[in-house]
Structures are given as structure tokens and as C-alpha cells.
């Protein structure tokens, strides 16, 4: 294979495109709020995040998304009908820990072994 | 170049492009993932946030461990009781260990005799965050250097690059070593690192960090360094303060009055 | 070609059995680590990395050697090296595989390691190292296999392989540079930190060529594959040059630090003594001397990497003694890599001997 002038020009173009991409990549802008403390949405654990049917089949997707973005994106999770939730397992457990076996009974039946409880305290671990 | 070869090259380049397409699926996350840093600035700009702390050693009582204990309790920090596997977010260590390069080798005991509380400095230019291969350690929107335990692979690059030794690793399963479990904060698991989070979970509720609250002498002052009217700013203006190893250019957000 | 791995003489099978034994020990130690955490190692507060990380740097460096063979033979059309290109490529692949596995056994949660690709971070040297090593294994395996296939059929290498081979050149140079950056926190003093990357690049070439030379000499003795005197002469020259540069830089560090780790002194001593062999005409023409000296250079540069880890990133030195489990894991990984290389080289030797 011979390296021709054309190859070099193309290579340089690709390189400059990459550099431009890096320089001009838009950075996400969040709504500006004066005090970060005011940014906090209180944990709303009084209503369901989504209909029971949906949660029954899709809670893992939702929790996965919360897990992957919750720490670095301070914005709350907004449902289709405009309710806002703080992305935290505690938001769910606010209601659902009233039944100690809420998570575990079903997981045991389905033989699902989520890693949540390696760190998060399950209702069973709490005194 | 004959026909057959040309065909081959065409096919391989299509394959190559497809490969890039697939890997962009993998990399997409990195390109689109943006940590919301809108509120943060390392410049002194009003309206932005950079949480910081001032530790006034004139008030700190030698031998007192209240802040350390409060931190342990608040965050379920395990206590292994041996130096090798020790985990600490906040600890009190001898002056010379905290300020090895402060040029005070000949200073008197009253300056250098006490043990000094030390914690993560939430550096404005944190080497730990740039070393982390998964961005598990990252700079948050309010200047806090946060850790996302979910994706930490336990590679310990962050530990190696923090010049203050502020990060600890879970060499063992931590739960059995936690004296009293605090049920409003998670624990960590074996194989990840952990460090001070400036009590971001308490800030969220409008509370001050646990150590600040626990100190009976008001040694610790917490506040927004970019807010000219905050208490910490007034103290920083009036007193001569110092940072740990300022020569490294990490720009710590934790200041000391000695 | 790979089926040749199943045929061999007695020596070959003893060698394979030995490697398998070491691997078994390594795996059992690793399974204990999975259960008990990294507390089974000698690491701890202030000592984030140990011999496994050391093996990672060393092997990432060795992997880059293929460039010293590929570059002359493809870009400058230096014919004698054409004979050992495949060997260098396979060495590159196995060494980077060892480096990767060393990272694998050294992480707290190895099951998340693939996340490194997903969350790839452009300013993290560790992230780069992981990405580059993975790519390097692939590139070298593919190009090496294609080259060998062409050689067996007696035809020139297919055109599509060439771009990959060219790609491997900057890739190989990047490897030691990137691992150098992973370790800069340990260099202690700022101007030594600025030298570190150059030193690791030079020592990579020295260590790599020494390993390659050793492999070629061993092959010569055990299989009768002869690369030719031109090749070994050239390699001897390369070790001599790269080695001199490396040991000069190590010497600079030894004599300018207020507190030098004893391992670095050991490295310097061993290095200079072994390097002498590469300069004296009477010694360098003896295979036995050359083999010993290559091993000496390899050992010395291994110690150089170890010395890095004895500096604490918070200042001063650390006390670190690896545990037996740690050693067996690290050796296990090494044995896996060598087994891999043995199988590949077996195919190479059969092809080479056929023509
Ligand atoms: S003190 Fe250490 S852990 Fe904390 S931000 Fe600075 S470098 Fe990172
Ligand atoms: S140990 Fe975890 S947080 Fe630290 S650098 Fe590695 S992945 Fe990042």
C-alpha cells in the first residue's frame, strides 16, 4: 500500500474534524438556581412513580437508569405527567419499606439476585 | 491493485465503519454524559457555588474525636482497627503528616504539636477525578468531588493520585466492621473505594455536614466560597489561612487557620 | 496451524505441564481473593498497587517491542527482520494479554472492568492503557496470524494487513507512554516525573528487545529454528543502545534523589553488569552469555518497575511485602501469557521449519 498525498489530506481533515468536535462539543446547561440547597427536591414518597402494572414489569429499567444517572445529574426525574422525584432508592423505599418483604419475596420467587443490597440497607437489614 | 483486492478493501472498510458504529454504542455514554457543572466555578464568581471548609486549629481540642465519630456514624464508615485496612473519611493526624511541606520544621510546639483533622479537600482541580477511568470519581455541580460507587471498578488510580491520602479502599467486606449501623445511609461493598462526600446527602436536606454540627467548639466552618457574604468568606478575609500542599496546584477547598 | 500445539516432544510437554501447574495455583489464589477481597494481598493504606501493577507496566512495555521489528522491516524494508516479524507480533499480543490480566486480578470488582470501555475517559491514563492494550492484543493477533498464513503459502502479505501493521507502530509507542502517565504520581519529585515517561519508553525498548532476543535464542536451542546471525546481532545492538539510555536515566535518578529505593540501586547494578556483555565482542558471540545477560536486563528492568511502587504518592517510602497468594496470582497470569505464547510460537516454528 502506498501512502499518497490524498490519504494524508484526508487524514488531516479527519483529525481536524475530531479536534473541532472536541472543542465545540456542546456542554449541557441546566436551569440556573441560585442556591444548590434550593435545588433539592424533597423525596416525594406519597405517590407512585408509574402505574403498578408498568412498575411490576419495568422497575429494573427505571432503577437502572436512576442508578446510572442519579449521582451526577442533579435534576430530578420527571414523569410523563409532570411529577418530580429525586433519583434515589430511598424514594421508593419511603413507601415500600412498610412491607419488609416487598422486594425480597418476589425476587426470591423469581430467583433474581439484584446487587442493590450489597450497599443499600434493605428493609430486612434495618433494625 | 486488482479488482478483487479493491473489493476486499471496500468490504473491510465497511466492516471497520460498522465496528465504529457498534463501539459508538459503547462510547455514546461518554460523549453524551455530561456532569451538570453549571453552578460550579473555581473562580470567585458570585452566584456560583464552591463548597468549602475552614478549620480553625486555635479552637480544636487535642484528643477530642467528636467530629471523627460523627462522620463514622453518619456514613457507616467501617472501623477495622488495623492500620493497613483502615478506612477513614475524616481523621485526626499529627501536624507534620497533614502539612509535610509547610516549611515549619522549626516552629514551636504550640503551632505544630496538635493533631489536625484532615479530610478530602474537594480540590478545584482534583487529580483523583482525572485519574479515574470510569468517572466514578467526578466533580459535581457544586464543587464537591463525588464518588459514584455503582461504577467504581476498584482500580485505585484515584488513591494513587490523591496527594493527601484522602481515599480509602475496602480491602475487606465492610459491613461486619461497622459498629453501629445508621439506617439512613448506605454502606459500601468490598472492592470499591470511599471518601468524604462533604455530606452531600445532608446538604440536600438543608443541613450542615455532620462533623461541622458535632464540634462543640465550632472549629469547623462550612459554606460557599464563591458567596462574598458567607461566614466562611468573612473568616477567610480576616485571617491568615493555609491549604494542604498548595504547591501541587490542586486548589484545595479546605482551609486551615493554625 | 494451531493444531501443531498438540504435537511435541517430551520437553515441550514438561514445559506445558509446568505452566499449567503454575496457572492452577494462580487460579486458586484468585478465587480466594474473590471471596475475601484484596485483603489477601500485601497492599493496604498508602500502598494502592503492588507486584501485579508492576507486571502490568513491565508487560505493557515488553509488548511495544514489536514496533522495533515491524518498523525496520516494513517502513525501511530491512530484510533480515522479516524472519522474526511474526514472533515479535505474537510476543506483543501475549505481553499485552498478560498486562491486561494483571489489571484484571488487581481490581476490586473485576466484573465491572468492561465498564472501562463504556465510560472511557479521555483524561485518565488508566482508561487509555486499558483501551490500548485491548486493541494491541487484537491487532497483533490478526496481523501476526495473517503474516504467518502468507508465509506458509509462500505469498506476500495481503494488502489489508498492511494498514493494520502501520497502525500498530504509533500504538506500540503509545503503550509505554500511557503506562508512564499511570505511574507519575509515584515519581515523587517533579523533575523526575518529567523524565519518567522517557525512561519508561527507553526501558520498554530495552526490556522488549531483551525478551525477544531471549526467546529467539531459546527457540534456537530447543527447536532448531535459526533466525540468522544478522537478526541476533541487530537485536544485541538494540538492547545495547536502549539499555544504555535507560540505565543512564536510572542512574540520574539514583544519584539525584535524596532517598532512592534500594530496588532501583539493584536495578542499576544488575543492568550495568548485564549490559556490559552486550558490548564486549567475545561475550556477545556466545549464546550462553547472551542468554544470561538478557535475563539480567529483564530482571533489572523488572526491579525498576518495582522501585516505582515503593515510593508513596503522599511522599516518602512505603513498606510493602507481597503475600504468597499475591505472588501466585501474578505468576499465574504470567504463566497464562507464556502458555499462549508457546502455542503461537509452536505454529510459527512448524511453518518456518517447513520452508
Ligand atoms: S483531596 Fe484527594 S480525594 Fe479529595 S479532591 Fe483532592 S485529590 Fe481528590
Ligand atoms: S478505584 Fe474506583 S473511583 Fe477510584 S479511580 Fe478506580 S474506578 Fe475510579
Q: Whole-model pTM?
A: 0.85
Q: Mutating which of B99, B160, B190 best tests the C interface, going by the most C Cβ atoms within 10 A?
A: B160
Segment A65-80, tens digit of pLDDT: 999 888 887 778 888 8
Is B150 close to A68, i.e. CB distance below 8 A?
Answer: yes
Binned at pLDDT 50, 70 and 90, residue B176 comes out as: very high
User: Residue B154: its chain C contacts at CB < 8 A?
Assistant: 38, 107-109, 112
- Segments in chain C forming alpha helices (H): 10-36, 51-63, 66-70, 85-105, 115-118, 125-153, 161-183, 190-222, 229-256, 262-277, 281-284, 287-309, 324-354
Residues in chain C: 355
Cβ neighbours of residue C21 closer than 8 Å, sequence gap 6 or more: none
Q: Find the B129 Cα to ligand 1 centroid distance in Å.
A: 8
- The predicted pLDDT at position A23 comes to 66
Least CB–CB distance from A72: residue in B148, B204, B206: B148
Q: Hunting for cell 507519575 — which residue is that?
A: C184
Cβ under 8 Å to A: C residues 145-204: 159, 162-163
Binned at pLDDT 50, 70 and 90, residue B39 comes out as: low
Tell whether B183 lies on the interface with A, counting CB pairs under 8 A. yes
Range in B63-67, B86-90, B202-206 with the lowest mean pLDDT: B202-206
Instruction: Kindly state if the Cβ of B155 falls inside 6 Å of ligand 2.
Output: yes
Judge whether residue B26 has pLDDT over 50: no
Range in B11-20, B185-194, C56-65, C210-219 with the lowest mean pLDDT: B11-20
Closest ligand 1 atom to residue B122 Cα is 5
Residue A126, in any domain of the structure: yes
List residues in chain A touching B: CB distance below 8 A.
25, 27-30, 32-37, 39-40, 67-68, 71-75, 86, 90, 118-121, 125-127
Instruction: Delineate the domains of chain C, giving CATH numbers in brackets.
Output: 2-354 (1.20.1630.10)
Binned at pLDDT 50, 70 and 90, residue A38 comes out as: very low
* Number of helices (H), then strands (E), in chain B: 9, 9
The closest alpha carbon to C168, from C83, C75, C269, belongs to C75
CB pairs A-B closer than 8 Å: 67
Closest-CA distance, C185 to chain A, in angstroms, reads: 26
Instruction: Kindly state if the Cβ of B92 falls inside 6 Å of ligand 1.
Output: no
User: Residue C126: its chain B contacts at CB < 8 A?
Assistant: 131-133, 155, 157
Tell whether C35 lies on the interface with B, counting CB pairs under 8 A. no
Q: Which long-range contacts (CB under 8 A, 24 or more apart) does C329-332 make?
A: C329/C26, C329/C29, C329/C30, C329/C33, C329/C52, C329/C105, C330/C26, C330/C51, C330/C52, C330/C55, C330/C102, C330/C105, C331/C22, C331/C25, C331/C26, C332/C22, C332/C23, C332/C24, C332/C25, C332/C26, C332/C27, C332/C29, C332/C30
Least CB–CB distance from A32: residue in B38, B203, B204: B38
- The predicted pLDDT at position A28 comes to 41
Is A68 close to B39, i.e. CB distance below 8 A?
Answer: no
**What is d(CA A118, CA A84) in angstroms, rounded to the nearest whole number?**
27
Instruction: Kindly state if the Cβ of B164 falls inside 6 Å of ligand 1.
Output: yes
Residue A24, in any domain of the structure: no
C-alpha cell at C316: 516518602
User: Residue A72: its chain C contacts at CB < 8 A?
Assistant: none
User: Residue B52: its chain A contacts at CB < 8 A?
Assistant: none
Number of other residues whose CB lies within 10 A of the CB of residue C79: 10
Closest chain C residue by Cα to residue A22:
C122
Residue A89, in any domain of the structure: yes
- The predicted pLDDT at position B2 comes to 53
Binned at pLDDT 50, 70 and 90, residue B103 comes out as: confident
Closest chain C residue by Cα to residue B159:
C48
Instruction: Kindly state if the Cβ of B127 falls inside 6 Å of ligand 1.
Output: yes
Residue A69, in any domain of the structure: yes
Instruction: Kindly state if the Cβ of B121 falls inside 6 Å of ligand 1.
Output: yes
- Across the strands, what pairs with B92? B117
- The predicted pLDDT at position C81 comes to 87
Binned at pLDDT 50, 70 and 90, residue B75 comes out as: very high
Instruction: Kindly state if the Cβ of B163 falls inside 6 Å of ligand 2.
Output: no
Judge whether residue B174 has pLDDT over 70: yes
- Mean pLDDT (whole number) for B203-220: 92
DSSP conformation letters of B180-246 = S--TTS----TT-EE---TTHHHHTTTPPPHHHHH-TT--EEEEETT-TTSHHHHHHHHS--B-SSG
Residue A14, in any domain of the structure: no
- The predicted pLDDT at position C26 comes to 96
Closest chain A residue by Cα to residue B48:
A34
C-alpha cell at A93: 423505599
- The predicted pLDDT at position A31 comes to 35
- The predicted pLDDT at position C263 comes to 86
**What is d(CA C103, CA B133) in angstroms, rounded to the nearest whole number?**
13
Tell whether C159 lies on the interface with B, counting CB pairs under 8 A. yes
* Measured CA distances, B168 to B78, B88, B248, C47, C295 (Å): 11, 7, 21, 11, 38
- Give nearest CA residue, ligand 1 atom 5: B122
Q: Find the B89 Cα to ligand 1 centroid distance in Å.
A: 11
Closest-CA distance, B134 to chain C, in angstroms, reads: 5
**What is d(CA B71, CA B88) in angstroms, rounded to the nearest whole number?**
9
**What is d(CA C197, CA B230) in angstroms, rounded to the nearest whole number?**
45
Mean pLDDT of chain B: 84
The closest alpha carbon to B132, from B184, B72, B195, B185, belongs to B195
- The predicted pLDDT at position A43 comes to 56
Q: Tens-of-pLDDT digits for all 355 residues of chain C?
A: 667 777 778 889 999 999 999 999 999 999 999 999 999 999 988 889 999 999 999 999 999 988 889 888 888 888 888 888 999 999 999 999 999 999 999 999 999 988 888 888 888 999 999 999 999 999 999 999 999 999 888 888 888 998 899 899 999 999 988 988 888 777 666 667 778 888 888 999 999 999 999 999 999 888 878 888 888 888 999 999 999 999 999 998 888 777 778 888 999 999 999 999 899 888 888 888 899 999 999 999 999 888 887 777 776 778 888 999 999 999 999 999 999 999 999 988 888 887 6
ipTM of the complex: 0.85
Q: How many domains does chain A have?
A: 1
Closest chain A residue by Cα to residue B145:
A72
- The predicted pLDDT at position A81 comes to 81
- The predicted pLDDT at position B205 comes to 81
- The predicted pLDDT at position C257 comes to 76
User: Residue A2: its chain C contacts at CB < 8 A?
Assistant: none
Judge whether residue B20 has pLDDT over 70: no
CATH of B45-257 among 3.10.20.30, 3.30.70.20, 3.90.25.10, 3.40.50.720: 3.30.70.20
Tell whether B4 lies on the interface with A, counting CB pairs under 8 A. no
Closest ligand 2 atom to residue B132 Cα is 5
Q: Which long-range contacts (CB under 8 A, 24 or more apart) does B157-160 make?
A: B157/B131, B157/B132, B157/B133, B157/C124, B157/C125, B157/C126, B157/C182, B158/B128, B158/B129, B158/B131, B158/B132, B158/B193, B159/B128, B159/B193, B159/C48, B159/C313, B160/B131, B160/C48, B160/C49, B160/C185, B160/C186, B160/C313
- The predicted pLDDT at position C240 comes to 93
Residue A13, in any domain of the structure: no
- The predicted pLDDT at position B41 comes to 65
Residue A125, in any domain of the structure: yes
Residue A6, in any domain of the structure: no
Amino acid at each position: 500500500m502506498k501512502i499518497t498525498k490524498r490519504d494524508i489530506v484526508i487524514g488531516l481533515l479527519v483529525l481536524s474534524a475530531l479536534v473541532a468536535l472536541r472543542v465545540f462539543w456542546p456542554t449541557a446547561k441546566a436551569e440556573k438556581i441560585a442556591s444548590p440547597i434550593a435545588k433539592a427536591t424533597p423525596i416525594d414518597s406519597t405517590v407512585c412513580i408509574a402505574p403498578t402494572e408498568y412498575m411490576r414489569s419495568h422497575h429494573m429499567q427505571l432503577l437502572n437508569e436512576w442508578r446510572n444517572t442519579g449521582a451526577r445529574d442533579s435534576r430530578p426525574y420527571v414523569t410523563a405527567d409532570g411529577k418530580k422525584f429525586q433519583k434515589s432508592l430511598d424514594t421508593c423505599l419511603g413507601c415500600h419499606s412498610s412491607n419488609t418483604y416487598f422486594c425480597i419475596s418476589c425476587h426470591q420467587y423469581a430467583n433474581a439476585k439484584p446487587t442493590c443490597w450489597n450497599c443499600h440497607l434493605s428493609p430486612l437489614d434495618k433494625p | 491493485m486488482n479488482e478483487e483486492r479493491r473489493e476486499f478493501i471496500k468490504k473491510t472498510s465497511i466492516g471497520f465503519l460498522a465496528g465504529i458504529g457498534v463501539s459508538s454504542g459503547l462510547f455514546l455514554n461518554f460523549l453524551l454524559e455530561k456532569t451538570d457543572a453549571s453552578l460550579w466555578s473555581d473562580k470567585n464568581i458570585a452566584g456560583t457555588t464552591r463548597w468549602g471548609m475552614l478549620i480553625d486549629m486555635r479552637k480544636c481540642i487535642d484528643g477530642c474525636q467528636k467530629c471523627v465519630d460523627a462522620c463514622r456514624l453518619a456514613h457507616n464508615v467501617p472501623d477495622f482497627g488495623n492500620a493497613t485496612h483502615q478506612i477513614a473519611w475524616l481523621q485526626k493526624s499529627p501536624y507534620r503528616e497533614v502539612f509535610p511541606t509547610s516549611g515549619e520544621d522549626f516552629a514551636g510546639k504550640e503551632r505544630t504539636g496538635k493533631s489536625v483533622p484532615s479530610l478530602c479537600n474537594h480540590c478545584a482541580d482534583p487529580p483523583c477525578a482525572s485519574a479515574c477511568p470510569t468517572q466514578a470519581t467526578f466533580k459535581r455541580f457544586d464543587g464537591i468531588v463525588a464518588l459514584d460507587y455503582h461504577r467504581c471498578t476498584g482500580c485505585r488510580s484515584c488513591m494513587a493520585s490523591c496527594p493527601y491520602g484522602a481515599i480509602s479502599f475496602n480491602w475487606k467486606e465492610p459491613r461486619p466492621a461497622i459498629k453501629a449501623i445508621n439506617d439512613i445511609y448506605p454502606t459500601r461493598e468490598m472492592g470499591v473505594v470511599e471518601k468524604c462526600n462533604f455530606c452531600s446527602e445532608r446538604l440536600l436536606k438543608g443541613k450542615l455536614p455532620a462533623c461541622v454540627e458535632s464540634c462543640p467548639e465550632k472549629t469547623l466552618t462550612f459554606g460557599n466560597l464563591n458567596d462574598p457574604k458567607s461566614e466562611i468568606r468573612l473568616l477567610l478575609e480576616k485571617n491568615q489561612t493555609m491549604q494542604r500542599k498548595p504547591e501541587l496546584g490542586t486548589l484545595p477547598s479546605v482551609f486551615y487557620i493554625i | 496451524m494451531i493444531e501443531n500445539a498438540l504435537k511435541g516432544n517430551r520437553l515441550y510437554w514438561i514445559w506445558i505441564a509446568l505452566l499449567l501447574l503454575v496457572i492452577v495455583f494462580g487460579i486458586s489464589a484468585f478465587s480466594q481473593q474473590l471471596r475475601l477481597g484484596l485483603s489477601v494481598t500485601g497492599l493496604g493504606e498508602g500502598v494502592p498497587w503492588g507486584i501485579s501493577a508492576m507486571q502490568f507496566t513491565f508487560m505493557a512495555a515488553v509488548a511495544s517491542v514489536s514496533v522495533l521489528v515491524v518498523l525496520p522491516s516494513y517502513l525501511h524494508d530491512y530484510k533480515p527482520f522479516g524472519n522474526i516479524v511474526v514472533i515479535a507480533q505474537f510476543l506483543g499480543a501475549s505481553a499485552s494479554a498478560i498486562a491486561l490480566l494483571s489489571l484484571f486480578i488487581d481490581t476490586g470488582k473485576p466484573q465491572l472492568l468492561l465498564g472501562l470501555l463504556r465510560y472511557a475517559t479521555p483524561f485518565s491514563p488508566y482508561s487509555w492503557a486499558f483501551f490500548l492494550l485491548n486493541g494491541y492484543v487484537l491487532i497483533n493477533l490478526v496481523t501476526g496470524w495473517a503474516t504467518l498464513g502468507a508465509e506458509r503459502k509462500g505469498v506476500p502479505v495481503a494488502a489489508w494487513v498492511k494498514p493494520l501493521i502501520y497502525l500498530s507502530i504509533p500504538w506500540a509507542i503509545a503503550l509505554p507512554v500511557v503506562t508512564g502517565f499511570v505511574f507519575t504520581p509515584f515519581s515523587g519529585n517533579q523533575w523526575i516525573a518529567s523524565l519518567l515517561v522517557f525512561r519508561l519508553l527507553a526501558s520498554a525498548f530495552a526490556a522488549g528487545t531483551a525478551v525477544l532476543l531471549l526467546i529467539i535464542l531459546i527457540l534456537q536451542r530447543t527447536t532448531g529454528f535459526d533466525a540468522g546471525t544478522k537478526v541476533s546481532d541487530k537485536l544485541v545492538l538494540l538492547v545495547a543502545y536502549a539499555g544504555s539510555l535507560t540505565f543512564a536515566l536510572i542512574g540520574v535518578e539514583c544519584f539525584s534523589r535524596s532517598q532512592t529505593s534500594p530496588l532501583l540501586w539493584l536495578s542499576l547494578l544488575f543492568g550495568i553488569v548485564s549490559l556490559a556483555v552486550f558490548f564486549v565482542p567475545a561475550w556477545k558471540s556466545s549464546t550462553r552469555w547472551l542468554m544470561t545477560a538478557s535475563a539480567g536486563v529483564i530482571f533489572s528492568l523488572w526491579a525498576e518497575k518495582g522501585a516505582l511502587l515503593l515510593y508513596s504518592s503522599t511522599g516518602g517510602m512505603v513498606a510493602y511485602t507481597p503475600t504468597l497468594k499475591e505472588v501466585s496470582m501474578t505468576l499465574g497470569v504470567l504463566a497464562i501469557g507464556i502458555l499462549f505464547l508457546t502455542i503461537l510460537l509452536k505454529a510459527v516454528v512448524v511453518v518456518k521449519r517447513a520452508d
